DNA sequence: CGTCACTTTGAACATCTTCAAAGCACGTGG
DNA sequence: CCACGTGCTTTGAAGATGTTCAAAGTGACG
């Protein structure tokens, strides 16, 4: 049995929302400094290890989560079907609002893809915030509409694009966040997740992912070394992201 | 060029919301009779022919729509990719709320699958309603969360179920609405759409749909005659809806 | 420093798409 | 009321894409 005492890697950390590098981003941007400070005092935050669950499907919703640093993913498991990672959340992004709206039961789970620090705002605190700040409610409603649009888009891409194109798009979107211009204009990137997570995100099998990655490497589109990925020619990656057949 | 004058099949109809068979359903159920009456006077409604567009992607949102009778579908078209029908809307269901939240630009289109009567509430009227009825806003937010959950579910099923299972599920869900118990307990059903629409809904090709349908027929799971479908043994249809391999 | 999960490899196979062409059906206009 | 055309439906054959299963590496982490 796991000990109740948190290990050195899993510790509560006292983050100040006002000092959060992502405080202006998205939903929370509508709060004034004093509200931010109140939020800061009321929330809790802690580190998560790679692969750790943030919340689990069919359990009571523990609140709303906001990523201070790291990467998480929201997963959906249909009865008798393998799990799908339906969306990723990166630094500064909030997730878990759907569960809040639904009244507190989780219809998804969430897990951490790389070591992360994540803040949690419990339901009662949230309720107070929403009462006092109608604009915050609006923001989160917009976020819900945005998530819906993105999921529809993912559905269309899953339907019509081969794994190769979907993988190219995933790499592009990751590079947008964390790509760094290497020597001689080579774009470089550290993948924030395992191959298995990438497979779950692309809705394919780990074996297929490996082979597709190697195919792209032998085509000179990417150069891989563990979680390190180099993109010699972004334009060619962009080509690979397009549909090949388009009936 | 098409004539500007509406044809006899496309006419404005004066529907009373209070008399609508679906008035208690879902979102609008929170309105009292007098608000219903006001809504009734402010909305417009008309008939649509099979295949007709209700609203189009990348255009200004013409308002919120509610189906009095018939069937419609929301479609998403990604650049350079075939269109996907991301959800269906049947009698009594409201659609187009995402566009309203987003501030009035459509990121989807909607088309009618079978001859329908659809009501439209324009944005200014909606804004007034939402101001006066916070619970209505809540209802539509819940609806957004529900749509998100359903789309995630569709994504997972598209990822892991073969066409045969997805088709079985579509037929089951249609039968739930409009199935009638035939003689000797045979479930019977009239499909409210073309094969092409079914293919777009299942994210496959019309050819594949035809062949899959025939395979199920020769297995005795369904009996087809045009848009007429008989289900001799619902239990066997339910089996066909399950995954076969489950790795 | 051992363990367990992740990753990779290989070969056989299932599923679905693609392309081309013929048949059909419905609504339109004469 | 019938003829016509356009789009939907079906059929066939070939081939691409991805899965499955088994087993051997590999590596990260505690």
Three-state secondary structure along chain A?
CCCCCCCCCCCECCCCHHHCCCCCCHHHHHCCHHHHHHHHHHCEEEEECCCCEEECCCCECCCEEEEEEEEEEEEECCCCCCCEEEEEEECCCEECHHHHHCCCECCCEEEEEEEEEEEEECHHHHHHHHHHCHHHHHHHHHHHHHHHHHHHHHHHHHHHCCHHHHHHHHHHHHHHHHCEECHHHCEEEECCCCHHHHHHHHCCCHHHHHHHHHHHHHCCCCEEECCEEEECCHHHHHHHCCCCCCC
Distance A165 CA to D24 C1' (A): 30
For A191-199, what is the mean pLDDT?
Answer: 98
Name every chain B residue with its beta carbon within 8 A of the beta carbon of A81.
156-157, 160-161, 243, 246
Q: Of B149, B160, B203, which has the smallest distance from its Cβ to A82's Cβ?
A: B160
What per-residue confidence (pLDDT) applies to A191?
98
Instruction: State the nearest Cα–Cα gap between B144 and chain A, in angstroms.
Output: 7
Chain A interface test: which of B74, B75, B78, B165 (most A C-beta within 10 Å): B78
Name every chain B residue with its beta carbon within 8 A of the beta carbon of A247.
82, 205
As a whole number, the mean pLDDT across chain A is: 92
Place of tokens 């000179």: A220
Chain B interface test: which of A106, A126, A148, A243 (most B C-beta within 10 Å): A148
What per-residue confidence (pLDDT) applies to B216?
98
Query: Distance between CA A19 and CA B120 in Å, rounded?
Result: 47
What per-residue confidence (pLDDT) applies to B2?
35
| Alpha carbon distances (Å) from A110 to A58, A120, A163, A238, B139 | 12, 13, 24, 30, 25
Question: Which of A104-108, A150-154, A183-187, A189-193 shows the lowest per-residue confidence on average (mean pLDDT)?
Answer: A183-187
B190: left (phi over 0), alpha (psi -120 to 50) or beta: beta
What per-residue confidence (pLDDT) applies to A3?
34
Bridge partners of B97, per DSSP, are none
Structure tokens at A189: 């990137």
Query: Distance between CA A25 and CA A20 in Å, rounded?
Result: 10
Q: Which of A72, A64, A71 is nearest to A120 (CA)?
A: A64
H or E segment to which residue B87 belongs: strand B84-90
A105 — phi, psi (to 5°)?
Answer: -110, 135
Question: Which of B25-39, B106-120, B134-148 shows the lowest per-residue confidence on average (mean pLDDT)?
Answer: B25-39
Put simply, whether B145 touches A (Cβ < 8 Å) is yes
A61 has pLDDT over 80 = yes
Instruction: State the nearest Cα–Cα gap between A40 and chain B, in angstroms.
Output: 26
A233 pLDDT tier (thresholds 50, 70, 90) = very high
Positive/negative CA dihedral, B6, B9, B15, B20: negative
Question: Which of A48-57, A121-130, A175-184 shows the lowest per-residue confidence on average (mean pLDDT)?
Answer: A175-184
Instruction: Please give the DSSP secondary-structure letter assigned to residue B130.
Output: H
For A82-99, what is the mean pLDDT?
Answer: 97
Structure tokens at B15: 């529907």
Q: Of A80, A98, A156, which has the smallest distance from its Cβ to B81's Cβ?
A: A156
Chain B interface test: which of A77, A96, A142, A155 (most B C-beta within 10 Å): A155
B76-114 pLDDT, tens digit per residue, is: 999 999 999 999 999 999 999 999 999 889 999 999 999
Distance A53 CA to C9 C1' (A): 31
Put simply, whether A25 touches B (Cβ < 8 Å) is no
Structure tokens at B159: 């990822």
Distance A204 CA to D13 C1' (A): 28
Q: SS3 breakdown of chain A: % helix, strand, coil, rounded to 5?
A: 45, 25, 35
Put simply, whether B56 touches A (Cβ < 8 Å) is no
Instruction: State the nearest Cα–Cα gap between A52 and chain B, in angstroms.
Output: 22
B214-227 pLDDT, tens digit per residue, is: 999 999 999 999 99
Distance B3 CA to C30 C1' (A): 18
A144 has pLDDT over 80 = yes
Interface of B with A in 64-93 (CB under 8 A): 76-78, 80-82, 84, 86
Structure tokens at A67: 């990523």
What per-residue confidence (pLDDT) applies to A7?
47
A2-44 pLDDT, tens digit per residue, is: 333 344 455 666 678 888 877 777 799 999 989 999 999 999 9
A1 pLDDT tier (thresholds 50, 70, 90) = very low
For A214-219, what is the mean pLDDT?
Answer: 98
């Amino acid at each position: 049995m796991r000990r109740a005492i948190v290990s050195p890697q899993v510790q509560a950390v006292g983050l100040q929302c006002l000092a959060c590098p992502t405080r202006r981003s998205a939903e929370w941007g509508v709060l004034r400094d004093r509200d931010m400070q109140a939020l800061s005092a009321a929330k809790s935050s802690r580190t998560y290890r790679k692969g750790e669950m943030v919340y689990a499907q069919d359990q009571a919703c523990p609140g709303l989560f906001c990523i201070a640093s790291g990467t998480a993913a929201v997963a959906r498991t249909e009865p008798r079907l393998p799990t799908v990672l339906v969306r990723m959340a990166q630094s500064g992004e909030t997730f878990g609002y759907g569960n809040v709206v639904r009244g507190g039961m989780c219809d998804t789970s969430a897990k951490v893809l790389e070591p992360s620090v994540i803040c949690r705002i419990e339901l009662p605190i949230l309720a107070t915030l929403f009462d006092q700040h109608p604009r915050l409610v609006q923001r989160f409603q917009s976020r819900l509409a945005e998530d819906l649009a993105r999921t529809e888009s993912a559905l269309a891409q899953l339907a019509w694009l081969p794994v190769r194109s979907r993988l190219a798009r995933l790499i592009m979107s990751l590079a947008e966040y964390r790509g760094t211009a290497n020597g001689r204009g080579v774009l470089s990137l550290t993948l924030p997740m395992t191959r298995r997570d990438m497979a779950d995100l692309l809705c394919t099998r780990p074996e297929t992912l490996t082979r597709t990655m190697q195919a792209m490497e032998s085509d000179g589109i990417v150069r891989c070394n563990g979680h390190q990925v180099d993109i010699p020619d972004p334009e060619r990656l962009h080509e690979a992201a397009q549909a090949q057949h388009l009936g």
